[in-house]
Amino acid sequence: MGSEHEGEVELPIRRIIGEALELGSSMIVIAHNHPSGDPSPSRADQLATKKLADIARALDIRLLDHMILAGDHSYSFAESGLL
């Protein structure tokens, strides 16, 4: 994914969905890092995650979680109720 907190996220949705379909997956988990040390999701992270979840759902694939890793800290969209 792209740089956090800059409003720009490069989420390769086609590739993620394509690989999930190719592998016959019914569930996926994605993760990216925030080198800043702050695992809080940016608005762009939230929008990209929702878009991926919506597209996956339409294809009977469930996005189980999107994790953001930042040093010793992490953020889970699933644990935060955003999925």
Would you say 39 and 57 are in contact if contact means Cβ atoms under 8 Å apart? no
Domain boundaries, the chain: 27-76
- Which tokens sit at 65? 């979680």
pLDDT of residue 11: 85
Its pTM stands at: 0.83
As a whole number, the mean pLDDT across the chain is: 90
Does residue 11 or residue 60 have the better pLDDT?
A: 60
Domain at 27-76: CATH code: 3.40.140.10
Percent of the chain past pLDDT 90, that is, above it, reads 84
pLDDT of residue 1: 46
- Which tokens sit at 62? 């469930």
